[in-house]
Structure 1
Amino acid sequence: MAIPDLRERLFAAAERVVARDGAAALTSRAVTAEADCGKGVLHTHFAGLDEFVAELVLDRFARSARQAEELEARVGQGSVAANVQEVALALLESLPPAVVGLAMTRPAATLHTREGLRSGAPAFDAIQGSFTGYLQAEQRGGRIAEGADTATIALALVGTLHHLLMTRVPGESEDAEKTTERLVAVLLDAARQPPAA
């Protein structure tokens, strides 16, 4: 019998297992038990746990890329910093640190993730493009200084978020909201439009 949204159900179950019991507890049986599915369901849809972990990571990156695309609709609304920070925070919280660690320490999962990214799966490049497009639109609207290097601001923002996402330690990470707030403030400070004389 087909299970609606099975992939998302398994992915969400895996995140709960890792959050509650740690990365070492992530097995195909633990995931299917948490998802209340048959024991063999994961292996019916994925070649194994490594492919499953990689697909989870790729799915969360794609979800973050879709959220970044929503910046376009916010041009001219709210504050630039608040708009950027909301998407930056969503990216930083897109994956639990333990799942990121799993994907980086399981060679087959790492390889599958890289292959997915090379084949065009949306991830950091797409997110960077969305940030750049948003900042350029705000620049055209006069909310960012004319001479600000929006492409470099977007690169620095996404690069730093990537670093934070990949290096956070479970249970020891600094408050993500405060970190992104400081990051966005520093990066946008030089880009602020000076007040009219």
Structure 2
Amino acid sequence: MYHFYVLADDDYWTAISEFRKLLREINKDPLIFIDEVAIYSTMIPRRTLVAPGQQPLLLVQELSAYAKRFDFIAAINGSQPIACRTFTPEQRVSLRVKCFRQKVINQWITDVLAPVINQLGIKNLYLICDKSSSHNRVSMMQALRAGKCYRVKKNLHMPTGSAKYLSPLDNPLWHSFKETIRNKHPLILLDIPAVLSQ
């Protein structure tokens, strides 16, 4: 017997539908999605083969709670990836940050994203991101202005919990990064950049 559960209420799906409708009204090239993800050096496979009656056992070099973390931030428009950056564990230590915070994201926007947006030659762009606390609309627009970028017309936040349905970064790209790491388990820490560059 199959049971079907409603994933969320009607308001959730209505918000996603309305946001998709808004995006369809705009040409794909002026849409710039930004997102961040953390990938750990120890990401064990989610599925494994086990003999009947036996417990699954995976050997790891370190517990995932203490695994080294690589942080990625990227921007993609409707037709191409336009900017990205990787933060290694050592870089995060030197910056004295544990993860992506508003300050780090805004600095990346000013230093990396703003010049790239200017080179695109497209006006009236929309910067689209999730509702993370580090994605403050006003400070992101100030970061763009600090980078001498005046082409972004508006900063849009996707409805809560909808990035996997709306963002081309969230599901296709970040998910494939994580699955690549899981499929190559166990990995040596030095192998991660080479694996992800493929």
Could you say whether these structures have the same fold, taking a TM-score greater than 0.5 normalized by the shorter chain as the test? no
* TM-score with structure 1 setting the length: 0.24
* TM-score with structure 2 setting the length: 0.24
Which structure's residues are more often helix, by fraction?
1
Which structure's residues are more often strand, by fraction?
2
